[in-house]
Amino acid sequence: MKKTKLGVNIDHVATLRQARFTRYPDPATAALLAQKAGCDSIVAHLRKDRRHIQKEDVFLIKDLIKVPFNLEMSTAASIVAIAGELGPNQATLVPENRKELTTEGGIDLIKNCKKVKSAISKLKQKNIKVSLFIDPVKNQVKAAKELGADIVEINTGKFSQDSSKAAQEKELERIKKAAVFAKEKGFFVAAGHGLDYTNIKKIIKIDEIQEFNIGHSIISESVFVGLVSATKEMISLLNS
């Protein structure tokens, strides 16, 4: 049976902390609990506006965890410099807009070719694997290959938000096609954004997706059942 990996994004533990500027809850503790539950990697997004995860958090997390650390980040020079200093196992490049509630779409690799190329080159100099968060579009997968990325993460945001069954099925088909094409191109294929304990059941049918990166739903569930149980519940869905 194929093992599908789970990366747990712990940003929203920091969101809760930053709501009151307290010292708790600590995202590094969350990372350790998700690791204890058996997740395959820890994901954190160090945003330029520092709305949740702070610079100190990523250094502490990197020091404490044994599973790979995937730093989500924009191509901003200041963040690329921090990533170089930190040395996570992987960096996932995402677009970042100040006013967005959360990442709104994949990075447009054609429009942002220069910026992405420069960030990839700096990250690779530090031996950091690079993943590109893209919409499920063939041309974006092609561009990711030309840019020399190691991984593509397909944006499942639209699939997660589609309210009608027909629209969701259509988007699922688009994701499947992009995942097949990315696999053919030799990529490790990840996916994520907006996934929860219900919609995951549809998307795990796409065999080409090797890893899911999930945050908000797992952290939300953990409020009621604890992070170890919430993570285990998602792992069991991924491998059922």
Instruction: Dump the DSSP string for 43-75.
Output: EEE--TT-SS--HHHHHHHHHH-SS-EEEEE-S
Nearer to ligand PXP, 136 or 215 (CB): 215
Residue 90 within binding range of ligand PXP, rule CB under 6 A: no
Q: Which of the residues 52, 72, 153, 221 is marked catalytic? A: 72
Nearer to ligand PXP, 1 or 19 (CB): 19
Q: Which of the residues 45, 96, 211, 221 is marked catalytic? A: 45
193 flagged as catalytic: yes
Nearer to ligand PXP, 9 or 35 (CB): 9
Q: Which of the stretches 111-119, 138-146, 161-169, 189-197 binds ligand PXP when contact is defined by CB under 6 A? A: 189-197
Alpha carbons within 13 angstroms on the beta-carbon side of residue 80 total 19
- Give residues with Cβ within 8 angstroms of 11, minimum separation 6: 27, 43, 44, 45, 52, 53, 215, 219
d(CA 125, CA 69): 18
Nearest to 209 by CA among 221, 227, 193: 193
Taking the complex as a whole, how short is the minimal distance between the CB of residue 94 and ligand PXP, in angstroms? Answer: 5
Integer-rounded Cα Rg, in Å, for the chain is: 17
Nearer to ligand PXP, 65 or 195 (CB): 195
Q: Which of the residues 12, 96, 171, 193 is marked catalytic? A: 193
Decide: 152 and 132 in contact? Cβ < 8 Å: yes
Which of 5, 6, 71, 72 binds ligand PXP (CB under 6 A)? It is 72
d(CA 65, CA 31): 7
Which of 35, 39, 40, 45 binds ligand PXP (CB under 6 A)? It is 45
Report the interface residues with ligand PXP, using CB under 6 A.
9, 11, 45, 72, 92, 94, 102-103, 133, 153, 192-195, 213-217
